[in-house]
Amino acid sequence: MIAASLALSFSTGTASAQCGAASWYALTSKTASGERMNPAAMTAAHRSLPFGTKIKVVNKANGKSVVVRINDRGPFARGRVLDLSKAAAQKLGFIRAGHTPVCIAKVS
């Protein structure tokens, strides 16, 4: 199990990383940023990163990676650091599992 204590804080202007569990969702409701959730887009929900921030997500289980844009708030499940769109989860290879260990870092 991925412990929430693995998380490192993001800090402005530095190459910080955060690790933990990620899940995916495919709703079509409005996101916290005001845009409609698009399951086919490369987007994600994070608790505190500013909307529009681009991050690289690496699936620790298989090494696959993807760049996504933060457009929503969450995840609200304990121990998770990121909720990804269905398309991003598909590229990372964890649709069937529903969640996976990841590390994320800001893209400059």
Q: Specify the pTM.
A: 0.82
HEC-encoded secondary structure of the chain: CCCHHHCCCCCCCCCCEEEEEEEEECCCCECCCCCECCCCCCEEECCCCCCCCEEEEEECCCCCEEEEEEEECCCCCCCEEEEEEHHHHHHHCCCCCCEEEEEEEECC
Q: Mean pLDDT, to the nearest integer, of 50-70? A: 98
CA atoms within 13 A on the CB side of 99: 15
pLDDT of 4 strictly over 90: no
Candidate ranges 26-30, 51-55, 73-77; pick with highest mean pLDDT: 51-55
pLDDT of residue 17: 82
